[in-house]
Amino acid sequence: MLQSLHVKNLALMEETEVEFVPGLNILTGETGAGKSMLIGSVNLALGAKFEKDLLRQGAESALVELVFSCGTDEGAAIKAKLAEMDLEHEDDSVIISRKLQQGKSVCKINGETVTAKQVKELAELLLDIHGQHEHQSLLHKKKHMEILDAYCGESYAAPAQAVADFYDEVKELKRKLEKEVMDENAKAREQALAEFELQEIEGARLIEGEDEELEQTYRRMSNSRKITENLAESYHYSGTEEEGGAGNALSRALRALRTVTAYDPRLEELEEQLTEVDNLLADYNRDMAEYMSDSEFDEEEFVRVEERLNTINRLKGKYGNTIPEILTYAASRQETLNMLSDYEAYINGLQMQLEKAEKKLSEACAVLSKIRQKNAVQLTEKLTDALVQLNFLTVQFEVAVRPNGTITEKGYDDVEFMISTNPGEPIKPLGQVASGGELSRVMLAIKTVLAERDEIDTLIFDEIDAGISGKTAWKVAEQLSQVGRAHQVICITHLPQIAAMADAHFVIEKSSTDDSTITDIRRLDETGELAELARLLGSDTLTEAALSNANELRVQALEVKNK
182, with CB counted inside 10 A (0-12, 13-18, 19+), is middle
pLDDT of residue 409: 93
Listed as ranges, residues in the chain with pLDDT below 70 are: 33, 71-75, 90, 131-135, 180-185, 240-244, 294-297, 454, 466-467, 514
Where is 67: in which H helix or E strand?
strand 61-69
pLDDT of residue 222: 78
Buried b (16+ CB within 10 A) or exposed e, 139-169: eebebbbebbbebbeeebeebbebbbebbeb
Show Cβ contacts of residue 322 under 8 Å, excluding neighbours closer than 6 positions: 211, 316
Distance CA 199, CA 190 (A): 14
Distance CA 350, CA 294 (A): 60
Per residue in 366-381, pLDDT tens?
Answer: 999 999 999 999 999 9
Distance CA 399, CA 386 (A): 14
- Give the other-Cβ count within 10 Å of 86's Cβ: 7
Helix ranges restricted to H, 459-543: 470-483, 496-499, 526-536
Distance CA 542, CA 540 (A): 7
CB-based contact 125:81 (threshold 8 Å):
yes
CB-based contact 320:330 (threshold 8 Å):
no
Distance CA 418, CA 400 (A): 7
pTM reported for the whole predicted model:
0.64
Helix ranges restricted to H, 390-512: 430-433, 436-453, 470-483, 496-499
Distance CA 231, CA 239 (A): 11
Instruction: Please give the span between the terminal C-alpha atoms of the chain, in angstroms, as a whole number.
Output: 25
- CA dihedral sign, ordered 87, 91, 94, 99: negative
Distance CA 396, CA 188 (A): 66
CB-based contact 440:468 (threshold 8 Å):
yes
Q: Right CATH number for 1-132+453-523 from 3.30.70.920, 3.40.50.670, 3.20.20.70, 3.40.50.300?
A: 3.40.50.300
Relative to beta strand 458-462, strand 127-130 is parallel
CB-based contact 37:519 (threshold 8 Å):
yes
pLDDT of residue 272: 86
DSSP 55: B
Show Cβ contacts of residue 116 under 8 Å, excluding neighbours closer than 6 positions: 47, 107
pLDDT of residue 35: 72
CB-based contact 148:372 (threshold 8 Å):
yes
Per residue in 231-256, pLDDT tens?
Answer: 777 777 777 666 667 877 888 888 88
Amino acid in the structure at residue 274: L
Grouping H, G, I as helix, E, B as strand and the rest as coil, residue 254 is: helix
DSSP string covering 500-511, please?
A: TT-SEEEEEEEE
Distance CA 501, CA 558 (A): 7
CB-based contact 408:439 (threshold 8 Å):
no
CB-based contact 358:170 (threshold 8 Å):
yes
Distance CA 353, CA 357 (A): 6
Length of the chain equals 563
pLDDT of residue 426: 87
pLDDT of residue 288: 77
pLDDT of residue 265: 81
Distance CA 441, CA 445 (A): 6
Question: 364: closest CA among 181, 538, 156?
Answer: 156
Domain ranges across the chain: 1-132+453-523
Tell me how far apart the 2 most distant CA atoms of the chain are, in Å.
Answer: 127
pLDDT of residue 380: 94
Per residue in 195-223, pLDDT tens?
Answer: 898 999 988 899 998 888 888 888 877 77
